[in-house]
Structure 1
Amino acid sequence: MSAPRPPRSGSGPEPFLRPGRRLVVVLTVLALAVAGLTALGTAPARAAGSLTAAFSTSGSGSSWTGKFVVKNNGDAAVDNWSLEFDLPDGVGISGHTHGTAQVQGRHVTVTPAYYNARVPAGRDTEPYSYTFQGSGPMTAPTGCLINGEKCDGSPAVPPRAPTGLKVADTTARTVSLEWTPAVQGDFPVSSYEVLRGDTVVAAGATPRATVRDLTPATSYEFTVRAKDTRGNDGPASAPVTAKTVDPATDTVPPTAPRNLKAGEVTSSTVALTWDPATDDKRVAAYDVYRDGDLVESLPADTLATTVPGLTPATEYAFTVKARDAADNASPASAALKVTTKEAVGDGGHAKVGYFVQWGIYGRQYFVKDLDTSGAAAKLDVVNYAFANIDPKNLTCLNGVTKGTSQDPQDPNQGDGAGDAEADYGRAFSAAQSVDGVADDGWGKLRGNFNQLKKLKAKHPHLKVLVSLGGWTYSKYFSDVAKTDAARQKFVKSCIDMYIKGNLPAYNGAGGDGVAAGIFDGFDLDWEWPGSPDGHPGNHWSPEDKANNTALIAEFRRQLDALGDGHKLLSAFTPADPKKVDAGWDLKEIFKHMDFANVQGYDFHGSGSDNSWEPDRTGHQANLYPDAQSPYENDFSVDGAVQHYLDAGVSPRKLTVGFPFYGRGWQQVAEGGAKGEYQSANGAAPGQFQEEAGTRGYDNLVASLPNLTVHHDEQSVSTYGYTGAGGQWWSFDDTWSIGKKAEYIKSKGLLGAMIWEMSGDTANSSLFNALDRGLP
């Protein structure tokens, strides 16, 4: 028999409605003179970004009005703009018109209203220019930026050249330099670059750097220049000459560092300390190694470091070597083995629950329900499903409202589909809101995203991931993973959209940074790499396995580069060992990934198209193989989990998937087996017309009062039968959930994943059973 139909990332129903642009905000300076009560205007030159902004005032005394007129000096319309400025001391503002403003201390960031965001070529925002009510001295703002460029249109003044460049230290292969910080121009200094000729040989944010990999006993000339936050380079400093040490002058290595210890250990970092080494001349540096690979070189006066970029629930071996000025390396210290903490679960058991974007429609399940049901207080992670891939640009897609077709065999079913309305466009009422406050219909952030933001504010422990792909949206994963350039482009677009929060414009919502802080990482739901068994029309190739690993590594690299704490990276992975082996390099992916949610359901079923297994019933989520099963491939939770463990995956990297829904058949023969593995005539009527064969657990037990529930003790599976010729359903209930929870604990697994939260009863009977089993 064929392998089980792959789930829609937990198999729930496909969305029947799935509903763009970025803007960039940075800082600069605008100098505007104020003359009493007269209007303060500028005569802006052509700006690099084509937009300028002129400020003026009206009124008198300590209560006055300020206005910024945005003008497009270019030859093409600009579809969006953002304004930033700093308030002078003693000035306050309120009463914002024709735009919304975020005021943080003295810094103000303005986004336009939906009706004045677009500025045609040669036109300005009048008569709908952004205004505010000022209080205090009538003084013009400073630091004005329009879309990141100076508001008066003049070229940016770069930083000045650093001064005082000197050689701080030399070894056989390094030169350490120090200098006096550069004076900034129009923008703050963000970094420095050390040059040898025209080549950048070192860079950093502080006024010191070490140039490495030099040739011993060789003279070099270096200069340094500053770079500002807008990427403008200042002039180079006066040069300095340094000569590296001749190794022939010293052949005695230092002693090995002693007493290497671990301090604070997190899911992604390990703090290390050690006692100093000794040398006949001097110790020049310490080299820190992780599993034999050099990760950091430190100056001799540094006897501690924190190693970042580690993977949760992973054992690492650390050593330290000392090096003298002649580049003689000491023996390694004694190895120190440290296991990082889990990313979620705090050493106990993690609970991950999917929230479906489209649940707000037919299911009438809102983010608020995660809170009122009590689930949010007990969940560790909410996976928001799903984000799509742009079929043309091969980037993360949002800002559209385009539903999927109703034909599950349509190879283009998910192309270009999305639901920005549900994500951040819909204004929820007070009754539907987490905090009881209705959405502002003109706000830049509304919909599910705003409710998730409120949910996190109420439950600070909760992490929220955006799930990319799923059954219907996995078509273009193979394309975005195919090359290094494609991977970098795709990952950057997803981070820009969901981590930095730069949402495309949609119906007055969206904008730069409006969704920042909502999502704590990504859940990758590629169904399935290296396999033709995904949705009809999915792109795939034998190279998917290697490319999948590279894509996961690219997500980890770019997420780590953001700083600001560890971002989570998980994946939904298959139960079928053949699909695992075809698309998932289990020895490599967990070097970059926090955990995997292993498919624990959809082992058997029949869908609305009757293309799966319409002729015979079967268990969809059994814990163990069923001795009575006539299917050639009798999949099970234990079989799936054991395949991962046999490959060396840490059990603390795995959660097991639980279905909060049932799979059903109709016209099922009794056969003396209560319908188990008996003949059938396709999928049973579903909860929704377009979802035959699927019902949420709550709907299942409520709509079929004559359903008799049975428990198979040997395979640990629950099923229900309405009688000969009736319906037969496979699902999880509190009994099977309790049994599976015991299994998770016995195997030392990380925890459980739920597809999906709306399927539970009003009193959360399934989730509470899981929580009792996995406290």
Structure 2
Amino acid sequence: MKTPRIRPAAAMALAAALAMSPLYAAPAAAAADVTVVYTEGQTWETGYSGQFTIINEGDTALQDWTIEFSLPDGTAVSSMWNADVAESGGTYTVTPPSWGAPVPAGGSYGIGFNGSFSAGTTATEPATCTIDGAPCSGGSPSEDTAAPSAPAGLRSGAQTADSVTLSWDAASDDVGVAGYEVLRGGEVAASTTGTATSATVGGLAADTEYTFSVRAYDAAGNRSAAGDPVTVRTSPDDGGGDPGPGGDRRVGYFTQWGIYARDYLVQDVDTSGTAEKLTHVNYAFGNVSADGQCFMANQPGEGDAYADYGRSFGAAESVDGDADTWDQPLRGNFNQLRELKEKHPGLKVLISLGGWTWSKNLSDAALTAESRERLVSSCVDMYLRGNLPVIDGAGGTGSAAGLFDGIDLDWEWPASAGHPDNTFRPEDKQNFTALVQEFRDQLDALEAENGRQYELSSFMAADPEKIEAGYEVGALMEDFDFVTVQGYDFHGAWEDTTNHQSNLTPIPGDPGPDTYSTQETIQAYIDRGADPADLVMGVPFYGRGWTGVPAGPDGDGLHQSSSGAAQGPFESGIDDYKNLKDLTGYTLHRDDEAGAAWLYNGSTFWTFDDPTAMRQKVAWAKEQGLGGIMAWSLDGDDAQGSLMAAIDGALDGA
């Protein structure tokens, strides 16, 4: 389990300077009814984020636009989303993205970017700005020198364990209010544009008091005094804390691709009753590039940014019942998960990195101190700071800041063979420990920066040989909050003989070639220094099958030769529980001690877990004092969430 460590705060001189100076805003002059507002976002040790917002108060849509700006010496744009950008001679030219971005009449359009700065830099706001060739200011800024009135009536609405929603009364201005900024400790914690008089501040710590105030700004950059403050306490964290020995963590993997052929949406996690039973959702998967950085793509084999944050969901598909809009800054699974967290405040969402296919570059990324620092920094920036890249075909991007509550590492496998394309080295064992420590160090720094806690977990192998080859277990567990242990895929149709894929205990007469059981796997971790309370046992929401199987001496098809893999709807030899439970013409068999169940019809054999097997597994995990149950993957359950309900009831003692 992660042990508390004291870490000196990083020097943040630039952040302090920005907090003391007003943020830059300038009105557009290309059309009298169009305004461009620039606002500063988060700042960290090597960079910052910013946003240009085009506000169209005219009666017709602004079909095309070009913004040109320059930055002070020592600063540069490193990435931009929701627009195309080109740089020449220090001038940045911003144009609509390939999918088009008309600014609707009476609407707005946001363009975000990440910037970098060099040592000694004290300002990052644009030095010059034009829209369609005319000064963004539309003339001398001195023409409008009056600040808006201070907003009144600041009040708190909904609170969760890590967010607060605030609202206030509209301010007034002689020309017009362009937006509002929510302040916390003198720094901008959230901002709005246009007439919106509410905002949600995320990334907060549970059961903690925060004091906020709000100021208004106009298009010329004049800012009001802050209105009267309000103090708000976030809700207690009722879902993601340390459950202690014999704990009840309930972890479920949500697969990026499940929204397609399996038609399993984030909404289904809610309507099935599963969300209220989970403590964690692990989103599978994030990819790591050949140069050792977290990255996103929108092409087969590399990534599906469209599913992650580009796809629009209709009202009937959305968690909150509202349809996504074309200009919504964040869509896709990420936005749906955000809505799920708002509905279930105790739920934590972790981004899982790697997986069977995307572990191929992790050995290279973990090889040196420099490569480890580069990988972790990129992952923290993309997922925890929420700085998503612009990707053609993915649609709107926005920011995922505040969505993810931590990182789940799914390296398959350090120092051992996994997918045929994966690289592995003997030194992966030590490098994995160093990589985990680098993640923990950077998460600690981020916690100190924003006062929010982040979890670090990992999916770990079942094979005792892989455990010995790849993990310095005692050292690793000092930096993890918990780990999930593979409790399935012990056998499958890659072998010729039928067998159990998730048995708890050793099976007499197991023909191999390798013999596995969860009992032996868990003991291997404990023998190497793991606390049972930090081990979360994995269970499968799918089964594995063979065909051409003779009955054998017991008439149940177990441990018999086969002619090959059984037919599955998505791949041979595998099918979801929701399909297997409704098969006809099969006889159900059990080994109650091993928590194993299987179906056999005289020719085809399926090893799978049903609610009875799940309750048997949970009872065993509780007897061992394990830290909970993990399910791969949620899309295998039925519409009623029967498997998760069985897990939940057994953990609660029902």
Shorter-chain TM range is 0.5 to 0.7
Instruction: Indicate how the Cα distance of structure 1 residues 457 and 369 shifts in structure 2: closer, same or farther if over 3 A, else same.
Output: same
Residue 549, structure 1, aligned to residue 433, structure 2: yes
TM-score (structure 1 length as normaliser): 0.57
Tell me the equivalent position of 1:460: 345
> CA 1:508 to 1:705, structure 2 compared with 1: closer, same or farther past 3 Å?
closer
Matched-pair contact (CA < 8 Å) for 1:572–1:599: yes
**Partners of 1:663 and 1:735 in 2: how far apart?**
18
- Give the match's secondary structure for 1:618: coil
TM superposition shift of 1:98? 7.5
The partner residue of 1:578 within 452, 455, 465 is 465
The code of the aligned residue for 1:618 comes to N
Q: Which residue of 2 aligns with 1:304?
A: none
What amino acid is the match of 1:621? S
Greater per-residue helix proportion: 2
Written as runs of structure 1 = structure 2, the 5 A alignment for 1:684-699 is 684-688=566-570, 691-699=571-579
Matched letter for residue 648 of structure 1: G
- 1:460-609 alignment runs, 5 A limit: 460-507=345-392, 514-532=399-417, 534-563=418-447, 564-606=451-493
1:666 and 1:129 mapped to 2: Cα distance? 56
Check whether the contact 1:368–1:433 (CA below 8 A) recurs between aligned residues.
yes
C-alpha contact 2:255 2:283 (8 A) present in aligned 1: yes
**Partners of 1:701 and 1:707 within 8 A in 2:** no
Q: Measured at CA, do residues 354 and 633 of structure 1 come closer, stay the same or move farther in structure 2, by a change above 3 Å?
A: same
Residues 129 and 665 (structure 1 numbering): CA distance in 2 closer, same or farther, change over 3 Å? closer
One-letter amino acid matched to 2:299: K
Gaps of 5+ in 2: 1-17, 39-48, 66-78, 108-113, 117-122, 130-185, 188-204, 207-238
Instruction: Identify if the C-alpha distance between structure 1 residues 57 and 648 changes in structure 2 by more than 3 Å, giving closer, same or farther.
Output: same
Letter in 2 for 1:371: D
Q: 2:604 aligns with which of 714, 721, 727?
A: 727
2:270 alignment partner in structure 1: 371
Give the counterpart of 2:298 among 397, 401, 406: 401
SS in 2 for 1:504: coil
State the partner residue of 2:589: 710
Distance 2:549 2:441 in 1: 52
Shift of 1:401: 1.8
Return closer, same or farther for 1:395/1:146 CA change in 2, 3 Å cut-off.
closer
Describe the shift of the 1:681–1:69 C-alpha distance in structure 2 as closer, same or farther (beyond 3 A): same
CA positional deviation for 1:715? 2.6
Q: CA deviation at 1:66?
A: 5.1
CA distance in 2, matches of 1:711, 1:448: 38
- Alpha-carbon distance between aligned partners in 2 of 1:394 and 1:568, rounded to the nearest angstrom: 22
Separation (CA, whole Å) in 1 of partners of 2:478 and 2:80: 43
* Fraction of identical pairs, as percent: 44
State the Cα distance separating 1:346 from its structure 2 match: 6.7
Shift of 1:93: 13
Whether contact under 8 Å (2:484, 2:535) holds in the other structure is yes
**Using a 3 Å threshold, how does the CA distance of structure 1 residues 130 and 531 change in structure 2: closer, same or farther?**
same
Alpha-carbon offset, residue 738 of structure 1: 1.1
Question: Does the aligned pair in 1 maintain the 2:376–2:439 contact within 8 Å?
Answer: yes
Matched, 1:663 2:514: no
Within 1, Cα distance between the matches of 2:295 and 2:345?
Answer: 28
Distance 2:475 2:59 in 1: 54
State the Cα distance separating 1:589 from its structure 2 match: 0.3
Task: Measure how far apart 1:766 and its partner are.
Answer: 1.1
- Residues 125 and 772 of structure 1, relative CA distance in 2, 3 Å threshold: closer
2:81, 2:389 within 8 Å by CA — same for their partners in 1? no
Letter in 1 for 2:405: D
Q: Is the contact made by 1:661 and 1:732 (CA closer than 8 Å) also made in structure 2?
A: yes
Between the aligned partners of 2:63 and 2:51, the Cα distance in structure 1 is: 12
Taking a change above 3 Å as real, the CA distance of residues 560 and 669 of structure 1, as seen in their structure-2 partners, is same
Q: Deviations over 1:534-580 (max 9, x none)?
A: 00021111100000000011111101101222201110001111101
Contact persistence 2:313–2:324 (CA under 8 A) = yes
Q: Deviations over 1:358-392 (max 9, x none)?
A: 0000000000000001110110000000111112x
Return the alpha-carbon distance in structure 1 between the equivalents of residues 28 and 316 of structure 2. 42
For the residue of structure 2 that corresponds to 1:668, the secondary structure is coil
Residue aligning to 2:636: 759
Quote the Cα distance in structure 2 between the aligned partners of 1:426 and 1:133. Answer: 24
The question of 1:67 aligning with 2:35 is answered yes
Q: Is the 8 Å Cα contact of residues 445 and 509 (structure 1) preserved in structure 2?
A: no
Paired letter, 2:266: V
SS of 2:529's partner is coil
The 2-side partners of 1:562 and 1:69 are apart by 28
1:373-428 deviations in Å (ceiling 9; x for gaps): 1110110000000111112x210121x22223xxxxxxxxxxxx100111011111
Which letter does structure 2 place at the counterpart of 1:698? Answer: K
Structure 1 unaligned blocks of 5 or more: 1-25, 33-52, 60-64, 71-80, 101-110, 135-144, 155-227, 230-266, 269-340, 405-416, 607-611
DSSP-derived class of the 1:118 partner: strand
- Residue 677 (structure 1) aligns with: 559
Tell me the distance in 1 between the aligned counterparts of 2:95 and 2:382. Answer: 31
Q: In the alignment, what sits opposite 1:50?
A: none
Shift of 1:438: 1.1
2:637 is the alignment partner of 1:637: no
Partners of 1:475 and 1:640 in 2: CA distance:
24
User: Residue 519 of structure 1 aligns to a residue in which SS?
Assistant: coil
CA distance in 2, matches of 1:736, 1:482: 41
* Greater C-alpha radius of gyration: 1
Q: By how many angstroms is 1:683 displaced?
A: 0.8
What's the offset of the Cα at 1:634?
1.7
User: Per the alignment, do residues 732 and 57 of structure 1 end up closer, same or farther by CA in structure 2, a change over 3 Å counting?
Assistant: same
Contact 2:267/2:317 (8 A) holds in 1: yes
Which whole-Å CA distance do the structure 2 matches of 1:386 and 1:523 have between them? 10
Offset, 1:649: 1.2
Matched residues in 2 for 1:636 and 1:743: separation?
A: 13
Check whether the contact 1:442–1:508 (CA below 8 A) recurs between aligned residues. no
Q: Work out the CA distance in 2 between the residues paired with 1:98 and 1:570.
A: 46
Contact 2:505 2:594 in 1 (8 A): yes
**1:636-673 alpha-carbon deviations (Å, 9 max, x no partner):** 01111111122231111011011000000010011123
Root-mean-square deviation (CA, aligned residues, Å) is: 3.6
Q: For residues 95 and 487 of structure 2, what CA distance do their matches in structure 1 show?
A: 59
Q: State whether residues 427 and 440 of structure 1, in contact with CA within 8 Å, keep that contact through their aligned partners in structure 2.
A: yes
CA contact (8 A) 1:478 1:539 kept: yes
* In the alignment, structure 1 residue 353 sits paired with structure 2 residue 353: no
The residue that corresponds to 2:14 in the other structure is none
SS of structure 2 residue aligned to 1:562: helix
Query: How many angstroms does 1:507 deviate by?
Result: 4.0
One-letter amino acid matched to 1:752: I
TM-score, with structure 2 as normaliser:
0.68
SS across alignment from 2:352: strand
In the alignment, what sits opposite 1:618? 499
| Structure 1 residues 649 and 96, CA gap change in structure 2 (3 angstroms) | farther
DSSP 3-state at the match of 1:479: helix
- Between 509-518 and 563-572, report the one with greater CA deviation: 509-518
Counterpart Cα distance in 2 of 1:69 and 1:379: 41
